Amino acid sequence: MKNNHISNEEINDQFLFDLFEKMPLEKAPHGFTEGIMQQVYSGVEPVAETSGEYRRQMLWAYMGIGVALITVIVMIFARLPFIKIELPSDFGILRTLLHSGLGLFDGLSRISGLLRESSVTLVIFFSLTMLLLVERFFRKRYYNNFFLF
């Protein structure tokens, strides 16, 4: 492409416009409209693809991820003796946080072992997240290509 600055005048060619107008157009086969209308009448319906509608459809997925996340947290906390989260007392919030933080450092070596033990839960959680992300990615691309103007 040597020339990127083509003016409209260079392509607006009345001679070609007139000639193309005389060119016969391929005709859709007989019964084409009836075929489509049959399918329309048999239950195909316009689907509103608004973001609100999309969020409503995806509610189950978000709930699934939420449940998986809670399960992972519960399992981690139930199995990690070094993370004993004490409910904060009136004056001991800072101390509790500090202890929990230190407990995390102390128990780092055991975390890998725990991850192995809870790998099933983690796999479920990450799979769900990946599924959701992939679905969103493809849906977005699909609708960008087809329907969004």
Partner 1 sequence: MNNQDDNLLIRKILDGNTAVYTVIVDRYKDLVYSVVLKILKNQEEAEETAQDTFLKAYQALPGFKQEARFSTWLFRIAYNTAISRTRKKQITTTSIDDKLIENYSTDDFRENLSQSEPEEQLNALQKAMLTLGTEDQLLVNFFYHNRLSVDEISSVTGLSEANVKVKLHRIRRKLYSEMQALMGSEVPQMR
Residues that bind partner 1 (CB under 8 A): 1-6, 8, 10-11, 13, 15-17, 19-23, 25-29, 32-33, 35-37, 39-41, 44-50, 143, 145-149
From CA 7, how far away is CA 65, in angstroms rounded? 54
Our CB check for partner 1 shows the closer of 5 and 116 to be 5
Our CB check for partner 1 shows the closer of 2 and 116 to be 2
From CA 122, how far away is CA 130, in angstroms rounded? 12
- Confirm if 82 and 110 have CB atoms less than 8 A apart: yes
Our CB check for partner 1 shows the closer of 44 and 78 to be 44
- Confirm if 84 and 46 have CB atoms less than 8 A apart: no
The least distance separating partner 1 from the CB of residue 24, rounded to whole angstroms, comes to 9
